[in-house]
Structure 1
């Protein structure tokens, strides 16, 4: 049977994740990897989860093991409403919220909900490649707006929106990771967020705010979220996940937005997977109710701050002078820039020969047209691996300058 003539157009637009494909290549234990966005497994609250899962199965077995509502278990959504109020001063109701199978499902659903093939959207340049994947599959025409050390540039964003308008095109949404962006680690300051929000309103589009790392702040003060700054006017849809601050294996996240829009998400999710795992939602709701999450976040912050500091210190010690990098105030990543004549994709096989790996930056650009950047993850490697791996990477770069 030849299936090639039977595949849909969606398959032709689909592209394998550069990171997922790379992780298969570098699975050898002798390779030190800065490639994945993996949380440190030694920080998983294994004991607490075991106890909570036992409690859930003992107290509410029928609810835990049965199908759940598409919107999400009310026990979890009630705790999420409290969490948003306490940590972000965001007021939402449970009807303005839907539980999803982590942010990647939210991205896929947003693309399906708003994008027809050929529709225009704008992202920062560079931006999260998992989002680019989801938007490409939907057939979006993606425009990248330039960024600096403080995120997307408002003046370039407006120029791109004006250019689309002049062509008679409507920008469906602006996708941003405002806090400790994947891949660069940069954070958009609050005054710039206000500018961006005003620009979005001017051009009759909305901001899709992706916030997986916001709670992992090492220093400084958090700017208000775009959702909080919008103050209920309906110009922002925000996605959160527990993958970076709890456990990624639960695949749990949630979307907040206008009630009528959330209802559309619910209808779409009904056709996709009916509901997100009830037992995992109930366990996470209990974890929140017990107050353990914020204590766990403090432990994550302390551990990742040390690793971030060690990475910065080691880069400064071993990297050539014409290599630069960002200094994130939180999150899991930093962005390293090679001299312009170098190609991080071409360099990667040589790095793997030297038993160190990273993610080449080209796949984070909507047009895949910048080649001298790489993303480094500092949350997963041990401190010993960090130092040795960066020594290997620095030597690889020096050998190929």
Structure 2
């Protein structure tokens, strides 16, 4: 066949799936790529401080499992996850007030995968999912890829509004509520016990699942710990609890857990088999060994102490860095401060000037499933030292000066 005939006979390749076209790239990941230069002081990414990683303890755990049981550590494994790791996580979860057995848990490739597995197991195209507004960006991506109809629930300075949740649930008939009740991403807010109880009651009365995401709960450096929503009456049989090692050990391990009622957990396990068979065997074995021989609580105490200093450096410097009339919170843990510039400011439009001055933040607008607030800003305080934070705030003040 001649080239001319072949050219005439060639049809274009099919288009990409509509779900990909409607789901944009994460602005946070895009900003991280833009600010990867070492001279940039970035308040943009929720990146744990690398100098605080217990590199020696983690390296020792890998050496031990590879020297003592290399055939198991390097082999295929079960989809449910390493029994030792699940037992260790179950013990820690029980100690924090939620009785849990190893068999209640599925190990995931980061808690991000856990949320994807829940979307696969629960959602049909067109199903309604309720989210806090603003909401964790990657969750919005996951629900978009699942073809769900994302419905925002209003929040205030105390987090999700239970009365609004009840009204919207009655109207929209959702299948799932997604919530980060402790040190929420992006706002750093924490739901009170009263609001948690109300969320559980609404979920039980309106008949919906709860995906309770808790990547930051162990990063508390002030106030009293709150019970998981999963422990409140009405929520026990309808809550999937997502846990993560990214913020307490190291994000590069890509390890998380999913605690869910049996039927949902089995469905998520089938979804995981189709996604990746199982999470890295050697990473799970090393994490299990680390938990067995190292003092994670002592490590977390050091991390919390450092993060407290960094939060103070950021929050205490905002009055000089942000325009008069700005508002911000003072979270008792986690990684993020939520700030709002005065009316008329556009954080997205101001970002290029900030980057030119070697400082970065994340505009708040992309976190909204509903009408965005262009003046909102998410600031992470964990990645840089207090001295670097103060320098970054000085640069930010100069960048924002042009807009005043």
TM over 0.5: yes
- Which residue of 232, 238, 241 maps to 1:238? 241
TM-score between the two structures when normalised by the length of structure 1: 0.95
CA distance, structure 1, for counterparts of residue 396 and residue 145 of structure 2? 34
Q: Per-residue deviation at 1:351?
A: 1.1
Rg comparison, structure with higher value: 2
Structure 2 CA distance for partners of 1:63 and 1:225, relative to 1, 3 Å: same
Q: Per-residue deviation at 1:290?
A: 2.1
Structure 2 CA distance for partners of 1:2 and 1:353, relative to 1, 3 Å: farther
TM-score between the two structures when normalised by the length of structure 2: 0.95
Q: Counterpart of 1:207 in 2: which secondary structure?
A: strand
CA distance, structure 2, for counterparts of residue 338 and residue 223 of structure 1? 30
Counterpart of 1:167 in structure 2 is: none
Q: Per-residue deviation at 1:358?
A: 0.5
Counterpart of 1:54 in structure 2 is: 63
- Which residue of 84, 91, 111 maps to 2:99? 91
- Which residue of 135, 144, 151 maps to 1:127? 135
Structure 2 CA distance for partners of 1:82 and 1:395, relative to 1, 3 Å: same
Structure 2 CA distance for partners of 1:116 and 1:123, relative to 1, 3 Å: same
CA distance, structure 2, for counterparts of residue 9 and residue 305 of structure 1? 44
Q: Per-residue deviation at 1:235?
A: 1.9
Counterpart of 1:113 in structure 2 is: 121
Over the aligned positions, Cα root-mean-square deviation in angstroms equals: 1.5
Q: Per-residue deviation at 1:368?
A: 5.3
Q: Counterpart of 1:335 in 2: which secondary structure?
A: strand
Q: Counterpart of 2:307 in 1: which secondary structure?
A: helix
Whether the 8 Å CA contact 1:337–1:374 is kept in 2: the answer is yes
Counterpart of 2:86 in structure 1 is: 77
> Quick check: 1:191 aligned with 2:194?
yes
CA distance, structure 2, for counterparts of residue 216 and residue 294 of structure 1? 11
Q: Residues 18-44 of structure 1: CA distance to partner in whole angstroms, max 9, x if unpaired?
A: 111111111122221111110000011
Q: Per-residue deviation at 1:258?
A: 0.5
Whether the 8 Å CA contact 2:229–2:235 is kept in 1: the answer is no
CA distance, structure 1, for counterparts of residue 321 and residue 352 of structure 2? 20
CA distance, structure 2, for counterparts of residue 2 and residue 336 of structure 1? 52
> Quick check: 1:152 aligned with 2:160?
yes
Whether the 8 Å CA contact 1:52–1:287 is kept in 2: the answer is yes
Q: Per-residue deviation at 1:76?
A: 0.7
Greater mean deviation of Cα atoms: 294-303 or 10-19: 10-19
Whether the 8 Å CA contact 1:125–1:145 is kept in 2: the answer is yes
Counterpart of 2:41 in structure 1 is: 32
CA distance, structure 2, for counterparts of residue 3 and residue 187 of structure 1? 51
Counterpart of 1:307 in structure 2 is: 310
CA distance, structure 2, for counterparts of residue 151 and residue 4 of structure 1? 46
Q: Per-residue deviation at 1:382?
A: 2.1
Count of aligned pairs: 395
CA distance, structure 2, for counterparts of residue 232 and residue 373 of structure 1? 32
Q: Per-residue deviation at 1:340?
A: 2.2
Greater mean deviation of Cα atoms: 286-295 or 33-42: 286-295
- Gaps of at least 5 residues in structure 1 are 165-169
Whether the 8 Å CA contact 2:120–2:268 is kept in 1: the answer is no
